[in-house]
């Protein structure tokens, strides 16, 4: 009797090309889904921001004003105490007005020189939720007088409170 030859099949190799394609697609999707709009904004340590149900992501920030129970701060520079602002009769807060006017002029010069696309006059204000309304009004009036008419408030989303 004749011996039958057993035909051996070559071992199946792992095809990496399609696997690499899948990983590239996932990587591109993840990179595109990450928001990279401007500088990230974090609230000050001593603030408890008011709650809001509206969920709009922050845009690029050019200037930040922080008002807590003790101080008014513009771009990490402490300008004056909150009680001094509360006791004054004028709507314009002079130290804040001086800094804002200087920053607005710098922004306009940068636009003329072509360093920035547009001088938008955006400012983000962060106030503690217990800050009296008259302080908020005075800071907002000062921002408007200095040319910062696009005022945004930093708030926490309702479901983020912990």
Q: Sketch the domain layout of the chain as residue ranges.
A: 51-160
Please tell me the predicted confidence (pLDDT) of residue 162: 44
Contact between 125 and 139 under an 8 Å Cβ cutoff? The reply is yes
d(CA 92, CA 85) in angstroms, rounded, equals 9
* pTM passes above 0.85: no
Q: How far is CA 98 from the centre of its chain?
A: 24
The label of the residue with tokens 């807060």 reads: 93
d(CA 77, CA 72) in angstroms, rounded, equals 9
Instruction: Please state the φ and ψ torsions of residue 73, each to the nearest 5 degrees.
Output: -125, 135
Three-class DSSP category at 101? helix
pLDDT in tens, 121-158: 788 888 887 888 888 888 888 888 888 888 887 776 66
The label of the residue with tokens 């509360």 reads: 86
Contact between 134 and 86 under an 8 Å Cβ cutoff? The reply is yes
Q: Are strands 156-157 and 51-52 parallel, antiparallel or unpaired?
A: parallel
pLDDT in tens, 31-86: 877 755 544 555 565 556 566 555 555 555 567 777 877 888 888 788 888 888 88
Please tell me the predicted confidence (pLDDT) of residue 116: 72
């Amino acid at each position: 009797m004749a011996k039958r030859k057993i035909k051996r099949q070559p071992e199946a190799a792992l095809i990496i090309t399609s696997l690499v394609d899948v990983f590239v697609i996932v990587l591109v999707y993840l990179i595109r889904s990450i928001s990279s709009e401007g500088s990230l904004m974090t609230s000050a340590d001593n603030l408890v921001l008011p709650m809001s149900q509206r969920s709009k992501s922050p845009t690029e920030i050019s200037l930040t004003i922080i008002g807590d129970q003790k101080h008014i701060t513009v771009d990490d520079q402490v300008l004056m105490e909150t009680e001094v602002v509360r006791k004054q009769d004028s709507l314009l807060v002079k130290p804040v007005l001086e800094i804002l006017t200087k920053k607005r002029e710098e922004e306009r010069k940068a636009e003329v020189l072509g360093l920035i696309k547009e001088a938008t006059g955006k400012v983000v204000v962060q106030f503690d939720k217990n800050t009296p309304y008259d302080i908020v009004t005075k800071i907002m009036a000062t921002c408007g007088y200095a040319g910062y008419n696009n005022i945004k408030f930093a708030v926490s989303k309702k479901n983020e409170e912990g």
